Structure 1
Amino acid sequence: MYPPPYYTDNAPAFTAGVMREHSFAVMTMVGDNGLCATHLPFVLKDEGTHGTLYGHIAKSNPKAKLLDGRREAMVVFSGPNAYISASWYDHPDRQVPTWNYISVQASGRPVALEAQNYMSEMAVLVEQYETENAWSIDDAQDYAARIMAGIVYFKMPIDTVQGFRKISSNKPKSEREIIAAQLENNNEHAMADAMRQLNA
């Protein structure tokens, strides 16, 4: 992507925050038959300059054979997004509709980890999503252990990371407040909150 400078935010706190809060992402690679993409949950760990992503994939997925540490991959994390109507501005005849969004793109060379018991790593992923300890991997240890045989666990040290925060930051504060209110009325609460944080 090529965003204007005022939409780019590569601050580590921002990019890491998006990757952790919106951790179900799309990993794209080039395989023998061209581009391939897979939706996967990731865990970001504070390892290396930009962090390291950990994930898992089914052995039956053709992409599992691409995790050799040599092929580049891009993982795209999508945060809140919302349509912005030109009618929300004071002068709609001087505006056009647009789309506000928050996104992070992380690139690196994923590598499969040696076969072993990944139960503890998978437990970290489960704990990231389970609320109030509703379910633990210990509740189904035998079944989970059998499932692990069909999984490839991998890591991707992040080489480059780009953060995008296109939330009307090029507009005056008064107009951003109007847009945030309209988003709230449309139940686009996450984007409204992001814009209000910008205004704070």
Structure 2
Amino acid sequence: MYIPEIYKNENQQKIAQFIADNGFAILINQTNGKPWATHVPLLQTENEQGEPVLVGHLSKGNPQAKQFKEDELVLAVFSGPHCYISSSWYDHENVPTWNYEAVHVYGKVRVLDDKKGLEILKKLVDKYEKNSENPVRVENLSPRTMMEARGITCFEIAITAIEAVHKMSQNRDAANKKRIIQELEKTNDPQAHLVAQKIKQCPF
């Protein structure tokens, strides 16, 4: 991913938190001779050796899952808040732009056996059920319901590289940043409000 130096995020703790907060990713590989992408929840955790990995699952009916090869290089794209920035908000003439956050994770994929796959399911469900009034627990599901798990392929991605971009008007001076924030906060767009908060968190 092309990232100008000013927008690079190399803080591993912040990157891990970003992935945790924006876990619905796009998983990309080569399938049947062409690029293939699947929208899928992924979780960053550690393998048995304490190394960082991404884990998730796909339907066995998905051609991407059928084409997984051991140690095949894949790309997971995580997207965060983003919105259009009008140059009419500046105190000088310039071009419009887009503010956004994203993380690209590269790694080698391997399919997990049923036992490890069940552990992944538990972790994913526990993460997304933690705020539920009556949280679902995989271990409490009936054998009949768990039969549906036979229809998925669980996988692990050994992370080989991470690229993270945090483009939040760092190239603007304090006065223009404040103007951008004011304009974003005028809108009814939740994304714009999130971006305004992100700009506030950048050093002025």
TM over 0.5: yes
Q: Equivalent residue for 2:201?
A: 197
Q: In structure 2, do the counterparts of structure 1 residues 107 and 181 end up closer, same or farther at CA, with 3 Å as the change threshold?
A: same
Q: CA RMSD in A?
A: 2.0
**Match runs of 1:66-85 below 5 Å:** 66-85=67-86
Amino acid at match of 1:27: L
Partner AA of 2:101 in structure 1: I
Shift of 1:23: 0.2
Segment of structure 1 superposing worse, 114-123 or 173-182:
114-123
Q: Give the match's secondary structure for 1:2.
A: coil
Identify if the C-alpha distance between structure 1 residues 153 and 161 changes in structure 2 by more than 3 Å, giving closer, same or farther: same
Tell me how far 1:66 sits from its aligned partner.
2.8
**Whole-Å Cα distance in 1 between the matches of residues 27 and 146 of structure 2?**
26
- Matches of 1:147 and 1:39 in 2, distance apart? 20
- Secondary structure of 2:172's match? coil
SS at match of 2:114: coil
Q: Do the aligned partners of residues 49 and 136 (structure 1) sit closer, same or farther apart at CA in structure 2, a change above 3 Å counting?
A: closer
2:129 corresponds to 1:111: no
- Matched to 1:190, the amino acid is L
The aligned residue for residue 98 of structure 2 is 99
Could you tell me which residue of structure 1 aligns to residue 12 of structure 2? Answer: 12
| Superposition deviation, residue 58 in structure 1 | 0.7
State the shift of 1:70 in Å: 2.7
Using the TM superposition, name which of 119-128 and 18-27 deviates more: 119-128
Segments of structure 1 that go 5 or more residues without pairing to the other structure are: none
Q: Distance in 2 between matches of 1:118 and 1:137?
A: 15
Aligned position for 1:155:
156
Which amino acid counterpart does residue 162 of structure 1 have in structure 2? Answer: E
Alignment-mate amino acid for residue 60 of structure 1: G
Q: Give TM-score, length-normalised by structure 2.
A: 0.89
Between the aligned partners of 1:50 and 1:161, the Cα distance in structure 2 is 14
Residue 67 of structure 1 aligns to a residue in which SS?
Answer: coil
User: How many Å separate the matches in 1 of 2:144 and 2:97?
Assistant: 48
Pairwise mapping of residues 16-165 of structure 1 onto structure 2 (< 5 A)? 16-47=16-47, 51-91=52-92, 94-116=93-115, 118-130=117-129, 131-138=131-138, 140-165=141-166
Q: Which moved more, 1:146-155 or 1:112-121?
A: 112-121
Give 3-state SS (helix, strand or coil) of 1:179's partner: helix
Matched, 1:172 2:176: no
Q: 1:119 to 1:49 in 2, by over 3 A?
A: closer
